[in-house]
Amino acid sequence: MKIHIGYEITYDCPKPTPMLLVLSVHPCRQADLLRPHPIVFDPPIASTDYHDSFGNICTRIVAPAGPLKISSDQIVADPGTPDILAPDAEQHAVEQLPDEALVFLLGSRYCETDRLSEAAWSLFGTVPPGWHRVQSICDFVYGHIRFGYEHARPTKSAWDAYMEQNGVCRDFAHLAVTFCRCMNIPARYCTGYLGDIGVPVADSPMDFSAWFEAYLGNRWYTFDARHNRPRIGRILMARGRDATDVAISTTFGPCLLTGFTVIANELPEGVLAG
C-alpha cells in the first residue's frame, strides 16, 4: 500500500531562535519513500541534518523573528501488514543482553523506574517472563489510563500517568516502557505516523503517535499500550529513551506554537497525492 504522510507546523518567535527538529522519517524507512522528503520552511531558511546517538535524523535551524511555517509532504510504500506477534519470544537475563540494549533498562526523564519498581513487581512479578509479561504490561496500561487530549501536559511523567490514570499516547508509552524496564526488559520509546488504517476512523484531529519497542528473543518488537492491538501502517520517525530524545522540536529561546496539522492516510490503489 501507499501512505500519504506529512505535516504543517507553525511557530512564532519574538527574535531569532535556534531550534532542533526531529521531523524526518527514520533512516530504517528512508528506502520506502517514493518521492523526496525535504522539510520546507516558509520563509526559506538554512538547515543542516545530523544523526543523533540513537540513529535519528535531526535538523538544526535558526528560526527567524516572526512566523515560520515548517511542512513536509511525502508518500511511503508500506507492506500493509500488522505489527508482528511473537508469543514465544523469550526474555533475556540482564547479563546476556547486548551492550547497546542496556541504556534502555535505565530510568530517564519521563520514565522513573525508581518510583514504579515496587508497583511493577507487585503487578507483573508472577507473570511468566517474555512476550506474555510485556503483553500483560500493555493490558494493564491500556485499562489503567483514560485517554484524552485534555489530560496532556509537557511535564507529565510515567509516575504522573500512573497516579492520575489519564493521559495521551505518550503517557501510555512512558508508563509501559517504565514497567518493562522495572521488570528488566529493555524498552525504547518510539514516535511517528499511525493513521486510521484498517480500523474505524477516529473522531479527533490527526497527531503524531507514540508506541514502544521491547527487546525479546534477540530483536526488538513493537508494542502499543495506547491501542493494545496490532496496527497497520506505522511509519517510524524516531526512537529514544523517552519523549525527551524524540521531541518534534526543541527551542533554545521563547517560541509560540501557533499551528499544527498532521496527515497519515492510505492512498487508493493507483492514486498519488498531489
| pLDDT at residue 203 in the model | 76
> Residue 189 forms beta bridges with which residues?
212, 240
| pLDDT at residue 271 in the model | 63
Q: How far apart are the first and last CA of the chain?
A: 17
Nearest Cα residue to 210 out of 228, 196, 192, 187: 192
At 107-140, the pLDDT tens digits run: 999 999 999 999 999 999 999 999 999 999 999 9
Per-residue pLDDT of the chain (274 residues; tens, 9 = 90+): 999 999 999 999 999 999 999 999 999 999 999 987 789 999 999 999 999 999 999 999 999 999 999 999 999 999 999 999 999 999 999 999 999 999 999 999 999 999 999 999 999 999 999 999 999 999 999 999 999 999 999 999 999 999 999 999 999 999 999 999 999 999 999 999 999 999 988 877 789 999 999 999 999 999 999 999 999 999 999 999 999 999 999 999 999 999 999 999 999 876 665 5
What is the DSSP code string of 93-108? PGGGS-GGGGGGGS-B
- Where do the domains of the chain lie, and which CATH numbers do they carry? 2-79+248-266 (2.60.40.2250), 94-240 (3.10.620.30)
How far is Cα 164 from Cα 213, in angstroms, rounded to an integer? 24
As a whole number of angstroms, the longest Cα–Cα distance in the chain is 57
| pLDDT at residue 158 in the model | 98
